[in-house]
């Protein structure tokens, strides 16, 4: 009898205590947040004004519903449309999003003038703009996702920092589910060989082992022959392509090469079954396969449409 | 004074060596293909003989469509650059002269950079926009250098060297500027550098059909004028006394060398070291007579570039290294060895 009364008080007390603790007015993770360059950053409060220096980061912020917190974006950020159209809020505190340069030419002054609480950059090595910004007292976070899991971790990291961890986990769970649906189907069929061409000039370039495009091709049920070369020097020899004889060629990140160009090359290219059967494809929206952000599922779907059009059609029907 | 016999012998040995290296280099790559198969495949193509294929068809494609054009292309580029090296070293009487000294490299590099910035795609004689612009850039630059250096009807050699240096610096700076501000170039920086450091991966028989005649005719014309080049070693006045029309000859040598260099650059980008060192290395062994030096340099330069390209495409296979870096890595130690070993004083 007494126990029942006690639990009647203690349990609600614990619930209230826990919910109070989970209410994130302060993000105090033990040891601080670690970004992708192993830099530790402490956040005392949730950032209110965020600047994003890469399209993938901007997409993460908008996907998490953090539109209002974004005060600055890079020149290349173009998705979603709200980046261009968002206008001042009612209280006039946040206006149109300013453009602050891009990864190659960051406008340090513009960033400092906006006085952001957080700047999110992108890179696998320390970008040059970190030191100038930090010397001005700004907080810089660098994201450099290599795998799909890294992208999920990045989304959740941003969610944690911005106090909306739950939303972030919901988003990543949804993305993981979508990917699982796709891979469940692609696991049942054979994998065609795919050659992903990118760039032009001074040899033949692919994206290399462990690159984003390569990962997407694997998820979409293909085998990327470009995994033989490393991501850092993805120059591939024609011999290797001839020997591997891929079933299709995808121009994944080659904005200035068209399938007609590949067909017209002649020489050893004409010996490839992919060229003979006209299986040279472009990705309609190149951005979804080159930005390591929340549109990863769309990226896989874009490649799935090319590699396994039957599975793609099946999945499209299911969502309608 | 070399006898005609040793002259002929040297050239025969070098020619045989070149042919051997062409076959040998074609055996290596991502797959080893036996030399005998290579000979059979090539002979099959001539339609005189017909061997039964004991090899998979992709070997045929690899040998005939990928490796042979590349190896032969490398030989032609090496020959063109070495010949130009001999011409310019003789003409400018400067041991530091290489094919790029009067602005061809800077002009080609700027031309290629501009081509990479433009969103258009053209093809002429199966060459794309980048090699075409590189070729034109090289030639225009030499024309400008020549005219800047010209005083009335004479073009002093020193002026050409200085003008070449100044204009090269200007063009190189322009190129760096463009790379810093142009978005399109920023995104393909790796490809830009691959061109600048040299690469023979974009080659085909169609391109060779254009390049081979240019290089071979160029080398032959240079050989015909070898004695005149010898005369230039006495200085312009001395050559004039021997009856050479120095201004006209200067123009011919300059034009010939520039054409050879521009052709080489349109195939392989900027490959350094070959044009500078091969003439010197052969001078140490064969002496400074241009009548022997010119053809020997062409053949030896071809062999050298075949070796360098072999290393470039096999060391990190199936990835590739820039051949321009390997020419220096392979060539410099060898040249230092020759220099140290030579007992007699170096005759330039």
Judge: B201–A239 Cβ closer than 8 Å, yes or no. Answer: no
Confidence of residue A27 (pLDDT cuts 50, 70, 90): very low
In order of their start, the domains of chain B are 4-341 (1.10.3470.10)
d(CA A163, CA A48): 10
What pLDDT sits at residue A22? 45
Confidence of residue A25 (pLDDT cuts 50, 70, 90): very low
The residue of A197, A200, A205, A237 whose CB has the most chain B CBs within 10 angstroms, and thus the best one to mutate to test that interface, is: A237
3-state secondary structure of A205: strand
B271-290: average pLDDT: 91
Q: Do strands A40-41 and A33-34 pair parallel, antiparallel, or not at all (unpaired)?
A: antiparallel
A225-254: average pLDDT: 87
Tell me B118's DSSP state: S
What pLDDT sits at residue A109? 87
Task: List chain B residues with CB under 8 Å of A238.
Answer: 66, 201
Judge: B66–A233 Cβ closer than 8 Å, yes or no. Answer: no
Confidence of residue A26 (pLDDT cuts 50, 70, 90): very low
CA atoms in the 13 A half-sphere facing the CB of B48: 4
Closest listed residue to residue B306, CA positions, set B32, B69, B11: B69
What six digits make up the tokens of A135? 């010397």
Distance of CA B190 to the CA centre of its chain: 23
The region of weakest confidence among A3-7, A87-91, A285-289 is A87-91
Tell me A46's DSSP state: -
Instruction: For residue B204, give the nearest of A228, A235, A267 by CB distance.
Output: A267
The region of weakest confidence among A76-80, A109-113, B94-98, B136-140 is A76-80
Judge: A240–B318 Cβ closer than 8 Å, yes or no. Answer: yes
What six digits make up the tokens of A153? 């971790």
Q: Which residues pair with B229 in a beta bridge?
A: none
What six digits make up the tokens of A173? 């769970």
A39/chain B closest Cα distance in angstroms: 27
d(CA B154, CA B150): 6
Q: How does pLDDT run across B103-131, given as a tens digit for each residue?
A: 999 999 999 889 888 877 777 877 888 88
A202-212: average pLDDT: 83
CA atoms in the 13 A half-sphere facing the CB of B72: 20
Rg (CA), chain B: 21
3-state SS track over B3-43? CHHHHHHHHHHHHHHHHHHHHHHHHCCCCCCCHHHHHHHHH
Chain A contact present for B182, CB below 8 A: no
Q: What is the ipTM of this complex?
A: 0.76
Which A residues, 145 through 204, put their C-beta within 8 Å of a C-beta on chain B? 199-204
Instruction: For residue B320, give the nearest of A199, A235, A243 by CB distance.
Output: A235
Judge: A236–B29 Cβ closer than 8 Å, yes or no. Answer: no
Instruction: For residue B62, give the nearest of A199, A202, A242 by CB distance.
Output: A242
d(CA A233, CA B214): 33
In order of their start, the domains of chain A are 25-163 (3.40.50.1980), 180-319 (3.40.50.1980)
A13/chain B closest Cα distance in angstroms: 58
Q: Which residues pair with A122 in a beta bridge?
A: A143
Closest listed residue to residue A288, CA positions, set A198, A195, A213, A181: A213
Judge: B316–A233 Cβ closer than 8 Å, yes or no. Answer: yes
Chain A contact present for B325, CB below 8 A: no
CB pairs under 8 A between A and B: 100
d(CA B109, CA B195): 8
Which A residues, 86 through 125, put their C-beta within 8 Å of a C-beta on chain B? 102, 104-105
What pLDDT sits at residue B145? 94
CA nearest to A237 within chain B: B318
Q: How does pLDDT run across A244-265, given as a tens digit for each residue?
A: 999 999 987 776 778 888 887 7
What pLDDT sits at residue A210? 86
Mark residue B325 as left, alpha or beta (left: phi above 0; alpha: psi -120 to 50; beta: remaining): alpha
Q: What are phi and psi of B132, to 5 degrees?
A: -65, -45
> Which sign does the torsion angle of CA B157, B161, B162, B167 carry?
positive
Peptide bond before A80: cis, by omega within 30 degrees of 0? yes
pLDDT of A17 above 70: no
Peptide bond before B318: cis, by omega within 30 degrees of 0? yes
pLDDT of A145 above 60: yes
pLDDT top residue among A87 and B248: B248
CA distances from A50 to A25, A101, A286 (A): 17, 15, 26
Long-range contacts of B143-147 (CB under 8 A, 24+ apart): B144/B103, B145/B102, B145/B103, B146/B102, B146/B251, B146/B254
| B158, burial (CB in 10 Å: exposed 0-12, middle 13-18, buried 19+) | exposed
Q: How does pLDDT run across B76-89, given as a tens digit for each residue?
A: 999 999 999 999 99
d(CA B317, CA B124): 31
The region of weakest confidence among A85-89, A134-138, A244-248, B57-61 is A85-89
d(CA A122, CA A143): 5
Which B residues, 28 through 67, put their C-beta within 8 Å of a C-beta on chain A? 29-31, 58, 61-62, 65-67
The region of weakest confidence among A51-55, B179-183, B340-344 is B340-344
Instruction: For residue A203, give the nearest of B67, B192, B320 by CB distance.
Output: B320
3-state secondary structure of A141: strand
Tokens 């949804």 -> residue: A174
What pLDDT sits at residue A212? 87
Instruction: For residue B194, give the nearest of A202, A236, A240 by CB distance.
Output: A202
A127-139: average pLDDT: 89
Among the ranges A88-97, A155-164, B232-241, which has the highest mean pLDDT value? A155-164
A255/chain B closest Cα distance in angstroms: 10
A261/chain B closest Cα distance in angstroms: 9
What six digits make up the tokens of A197? 């061409």
Chain B contact present for A13, CB below 8 A: no
Task: List chain B residues with CB under 8 Å of A229.
Answer: 318-319
Find the helix packing angle between B274-286 and B323-341, rounded to 10°.
Answer: 20
Chain B contact present for A267, CB below 8 A: yes
Task: List chain A residues with CB under 8 Å of B116.
Answer: 201
Q: What is the mean pLDDT of chain A?
A: 82
Chain A contact present for B206, CB below 8 A: yes
Confidence of residue B24 (pLDDT cuts 50, 70, 90): very high
Instruction: For residue B204, give the nearest of A105, A205, A266 by CB distance.
Output: A266
pLDDT of A295 above 70: yes
Q: How far apart are the first and last CA of chain B?
A: 16
Instruction: For residue A199, give the nearest of B61, B188, B199 by CB distance.
Output: B188
B81/chain A closest Cα distance in angstroms: 19
Instruction: For residue B195, give the nearest of A201, A205, A267 by CB distance.
Output: A201
What pLDDT sits at residue B128? 81
Chain B contact present for A256, CB below 8 A: yes
Instruction: For residue A237, give the nearest of B123, B186, B317 by CB distance.
Output: B317
A29-38: average pLDDT: 74
Give the predicted TM-score (pTM) of the model: 0.80
Instruction: For residue B318, give the nearest of A105, A199, A236 by CB distance.
Output: A236
| B176, burial (CB in 10 Å: exposed 0-12, middle 13-18, buried 19+) | exposed
d(CA A69, CA A146): 26
Render A94-121 in DSSP notation, one character per residue.
S-SPEE-EETTEE-HHHHHHH--SEEEE
Task: List chain B residues with CB under 8 Å of A104.
Answer: 183, 186
Confidence of residue A6 (pLDDT cuts 50, 70, 90): low
pLDDT top residue among B265 and A124: B265
pLDDT of A282 above 70: yes
What pLDDT sits at residue A5? 63
Q: Can you point out the beta strands (E) in chain A?
A: 33-34, 40-41, 50-52, 70-73, 98-99, 101-102, 105-106, 118-122, 140-143, 193-198, 204-205, 223-224, 235-236, 248-253, 280-282
B270/chain A closest Cα distance in angstroms: 11
pLDDT top residue among B338 and B213: B213
Task: List chain B residues with CB under 8 Å of A201.
Answer: 116, 130, 188, 191-192, 194-195, 202
């Amino acid at each position: 009898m007494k126990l029942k009364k006690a639990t009647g008080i203690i349990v609600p007390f614990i619930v209230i205590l826990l919910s109070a603790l989970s209410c994130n007015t302060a993000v105090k993770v033990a040891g601080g947040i670690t970004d992708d360059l192993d830099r530790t950053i402490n956040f005392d409060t949730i950032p209110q004004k965020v600047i994003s220096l890469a399209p993938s980061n901007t997409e993460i912020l908008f996907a998490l519903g953090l539109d209002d917190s974004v005060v600055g974006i890079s020149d290349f950020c173009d998705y979603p449309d709200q980046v261009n159209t968002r206008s001042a809020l009612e209280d006039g505190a946040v206006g149109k999003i300013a453009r602050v340069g891009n990864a190659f030419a960051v406008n340090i002054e513009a960033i400092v003038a906006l006085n952001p609480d957080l700047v999110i950059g992108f890179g696998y090595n320390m970008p040059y703009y970190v030191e100038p910004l930090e010397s001005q007292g700004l907080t810089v976070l660098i994201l450099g996702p290599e795998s799909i899991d890294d992208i999920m971790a990045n989304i959740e990291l941003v969610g944690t920092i911005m106090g909306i961890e739950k939303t972030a986990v919901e988003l990543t769970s949804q993305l993981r589910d979508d990917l699982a649906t796709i891979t469940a189907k692609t696991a049942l069929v054979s994998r065609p060989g795919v050659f992903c061409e990118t760039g032009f000039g001074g040899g033949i370039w692919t994206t290399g082992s462990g690159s984003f495009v390569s990962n997407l091709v694997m998820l979409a049920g293909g085998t990327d022959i470009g995994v033989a070369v490393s991501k850092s020097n993805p120059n591939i020899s024609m011999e290797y392509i001839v020997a591997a004889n891929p079933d299709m060629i995808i121009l994944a990140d080659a904005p200035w090469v068209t399938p007609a160009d590949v067909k017209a090359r002649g020489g050893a290219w004409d010996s490839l079954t992919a060229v003979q059967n006209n299986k040279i494809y472009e990705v309609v929206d190149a951005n979804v396969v080159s930005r390591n952000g929340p549109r990863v599922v769309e990226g896989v779907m874009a490649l799935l449409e090319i590699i396994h059009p039957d599975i793609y059609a099946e999945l499209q029907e299911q969502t309608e | 004074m070399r006898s005609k016999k040793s002259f002929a012998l040297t050239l025969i040995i070098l020619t045989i060596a070149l042919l051997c290296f062409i076959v040998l280099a074609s055996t290596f790559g991502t797959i080893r293909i036996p030399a005998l198969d290579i000979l059979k495949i090539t002979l099959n193509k001539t339609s005189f003989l017909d061997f039964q294929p004991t090899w998979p068809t992709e070997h045929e494609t690899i040998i005939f469509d990928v490796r042979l054009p590349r190896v032969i292309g490398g030989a032609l580029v090496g020959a063109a650059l070495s010949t130009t090296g001999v011409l310019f070293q003789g003409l400018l009487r400067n041991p530091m002269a290489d094919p790029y000294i009067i602005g061809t490299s800077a002009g080609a590099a700027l031309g290629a950079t501009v081509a990479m910035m433009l969103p258009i795609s053209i093809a002429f004689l199966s060459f794309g926009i980048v090699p075409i612009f590189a070729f034109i850039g090289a030639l225009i630059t030499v024309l400008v250098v020549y005219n800047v250096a010209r005083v009335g009807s004479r073009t002093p050699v020193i002026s050409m060297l200085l003008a070449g240096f100044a204009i090269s610096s200007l063009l190189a700076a322009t190129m760096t500027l463009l790379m810093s501000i142009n978005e399109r170039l920023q995104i393909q920086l790796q490809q830009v550098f691959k061109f600048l450091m040299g690469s023979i991966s974009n080659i085909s028989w169609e391109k060779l059909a254009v390049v081979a005649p240019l290089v071979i005719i160029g080398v032959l014309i240079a050989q015909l004028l070898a004695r005149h080049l010898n005369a230039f070693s006495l200085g312009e006045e001395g050559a004039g006394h021997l009856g050479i029309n120095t201004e006209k000859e200067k123009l011919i040598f300059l034009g010939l060398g520039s054409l050879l260099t521009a052709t080489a650059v349109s195939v392989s980008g900027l490959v350094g070291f070959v044009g500078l060192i091969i003439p010197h290395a052969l001078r140490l062994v064969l002496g400074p007579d241009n009548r022997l030096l010119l053809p020997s340099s062409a053949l030896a330069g071809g062999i050298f570039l075949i070796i360098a390209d072999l290393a470039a495409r096999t060391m990190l296979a199936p990835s590739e290294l820039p051949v321009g870096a390997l020419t220096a890595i392979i060539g410099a130690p060898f040249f230092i060895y020759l220099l140290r070993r030579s007992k007699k004083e170096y005759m330039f």
